[in-house]
Amino acid sequence: AVISQKAPENWGLARLSSRTPLATSYNYDERAGNTSFAYIIDTGINVKHRDFEKRAKFGNSSIAGQTGDGQRHGTHVAGIVGSKTYGVAKKATFIAVKVLDDTGSGTMTTVIEGLQWALQDAQKNKRVKKSIANMSLAGSRSQAMDDAIQAATVAGLLIVVAAGNNNTETAGFSPAAAPGACTVAATDISDRRAGFSNWGAVVDIFAPGVDIASTSKDGGSVRMSGTSMASPHIAGLAAYLLSIGKYRAPVDMCNYMKGLATKDVVTDPMGSVNLLAYNGAVLAKKKGTA
């Protein structure tokens, strides 16, 4: 059955299930990512937040002595992927992989360590084909990061990454420019490319990323902007699609989401593909709303 969430506080949800802007409901298949796992490679997650409904778990930390989210970024990102109120895949399970400290900083080493842990965890639990990872972070170009993402991709784990917030060519940043990643730029509520969003040939798709409401680390909600908010809309969409359809290899899943996307509605894409995320609401079985 199709479920319709009326007037979602995160406007990005309504945009995701509509071909036109300013929609007022989020329509999605009731399976909603119920068989999927999302690795949130970030600052950590407040796994006790009530909007996560006990579906969030601590996985690993590459930061000595820190396991929670003292920063807020990771909890917000996780909420967009799959929290009850603000999330795309409302029944997914997510795993906190802390690679950035409570000031929000880390190194390529801590990030790669987290990515490798996520892949090994998915393999150990025999759920690579039910899993995705989100990386809403950016640094300078790194061959080691490219290699780690390529290894995960070849193993079957989709890595969704933020394009970055420098209003410049995305090709200069990692993991955004990694060939194996699905790279996400940001739009605002009027379908304009966000003024801060990176752009260019390595962008795969656009998703909402301005003034996005989601879970806050202290148990409430907060609005934040960034390609960091756009990426989890796509990670959540991938988790959702894995639960309602067949497994697709990472590159195929990214291409599938690009195929579903609404074409030529983004203003000022700056040489990026003009594709705005769409969840294929029509794919869901129409049996009334819940």
Residue-wise DSSP of 71-125 = SSHHHHHHHHHH-TTT-SSTT-EEEEEE-S-TTS---HHHHHHHHHHHHHHHHHT
* d(C-alpha 194, C-alpha 207), whole Å: 10
Active-site residue flag, 233: no
Catalytic residue among 221, 225, 228, 243: 228
* d(C-alpha 184, C-alpha 269), whole Å: 12
Tokens coding 50: 């009530």
Which residues touch 103 (CB under 8 Å, ≥6 apart)?
71
C-alpha distances in Å from residue 117, one per residue of 63, 98, 120: 13, 10, 5
Residue-wise DSSP of 148-180 = HHHHHHHHT-EEEEE--SSSSBGGGEETTT-TT
Active-site residue flag, 188: no
Active-site residue flag, 51: no
- Answer whether 276's CB lies under 8 Å from 207's CB: yes
Catalytic residue among 49, 73, 76, 233: 73
Catalytic residue among 18, 29, 36, 42: 42
Active-site residues, by number, are 42, 73, 228
